[in-house]
Chain A
Amino acid sequence: MAVDGTTAVSGRPEAAASGQPAASAPAPDAARLVGDERLPCGRLVSGVWDQARGLLAADASHAAGCPYCRQAVAGLAVLDIATHTLRRDEPSARTVADRVIDAVRAETRLGRLVPLDDPGGDLRISETSAAKVLRRAADRVPGVRAASCRLTCLDDGSTHVTLAMTLAATVDEPLPPRAVRVRRAVAYAAWQELGLAVIRIDLTVVSVLEGIRSPAVPEITPGGGGRP
């Protein structure tokens, strides 16, 4: 990873805090923008960044082999280029803010990443997109609306996932058999539509639905041939 050390200038937080104009203050350093966090390898982000820019004596053997350091430098290099481009062209603060907010929102919407059921362990799906599919499966059960859906990975090195879903339901029939149908529908969608190895499904009915009509979509049951 080539890093242009000549364009990177150490940050001065006090200048930004004082509201001084950008032209009179040094450009903020990408590492300072994301905070001085410690990487899983034990190195500080700022230290890794300074090493990449040649400001500190580099531990070449560590930096070359450490995926955390290399990933941090790669990300910061992109952020550094973006920062300096924006400062050089001096777009309006509103424009910069809108674009940064849009980018960050798009990333945070993904949620956590959960493994798809592949032995290689290198296939993942965002929790948000998986939950959307699973909530939709629950919604197909008459008298049920999914409220939330959380997926949790196990720490045992497997691709197994547990699922916790909250529901709203009508009370025109007992909840236990309805919960069985929801579990079946969700389990079916998790495996057939996504490929998740869900080993447990926890359902919690958190509110009562009143006066809704059952959806016209046919309910899906395992082995029933799937959706059209």
Chain B
Amino acid sequence: MTADAAGVARAAASATLAVPGVVGLQPSLGQSLAAAAGRVGHSRGSRPAAPAKGVHAERTPGSGAWRVEVRCVLDGEHRALDTARRVRESVRSAVVSHTARHGAAGPVTVLVTVTRITGR
């Protein structure tokens, strides 16, 4: 992930967590494995990486379009579809704003995956 993509992912993560009904982000398998390595390295004095877990952002070469994937955990108090829609719109808005500020604006596609719903 390039530095730009990391910034987009962080903006998307913040936007996701601000949506009512979202209780967390779920890392991908690759991020979980990287985190496992990071914890080991940290215990031995290495500097841990700090990616936006649960979010993957990439920019399509050529078109300049952004594709953001969000994996979120929801509470059981809100309808999953409604919360996922709010996450999509919140992330899209945040990414559009972030990329515009950093001179990397482009079309934004957001994919939202509900990985878990916590109990009522």
Residue of A nearest to B51 (CB): A78
Residues of B contacting A122 in the complex (Cβ-Cβ under 8 angstroms):
88, 109-112
Residues of A contacting B81 in the complex (Cβ-Cβ under 8 angstroms):
116-118, 123, 194-196
Shortest beta-carbon distance, A69 to chain B, in Å? 11
Residues of A contacting B32 in the complex (Cβ-Cβ under 8 angstroms):
102-103, 106-107
Whole-angstrom distance between the alpha carbons of A104 and B32 in the complex?
Answer: 8
Number of interchain pairs (Cβ within 8 Å): 134
Contact A124 B36 (CB under 8 A): no
Option from A1, A79, A116 in Cβ contact (under 8 Å) with B114: A116
A178: Cβ under 8 A from any B Cβ = no
Whole-angstrom distance between the alpha carbons of A1 and B3 in the complex?
Answer: 10
Option from B36, B41, B62 in Cβ contact (under 8 Å) with A100: B36
Residues of B contacting A126 in the complex (Cβ-Cβ under 8 angstroms):
113-116
Contact A107 B29 (CB under 8 A): yes
A85: Cβ under 8 A from any B Cβ = yes
A75: Cβ under 8 A from any B Cβ = yes
Digit string of B80-120 for contact with A (CB within 8 Å is 1, else 0)?
A: 11101100100000000000000000000111111111000
Give 23 CB contacts A-B under 8 Å: A74-B58, A79-B30, A79-B33, A82-B33, A85-B38, A85-B40, A89-B41, A89-B44, A89-B46, A96-B36, A102-B32, A107-B29, A116-B80, A117-B81, A118-B84, A118-B85, A122-B111, A123-B81, A123-B112, A129-B114, A129-B116, A129-B117, A130-B80
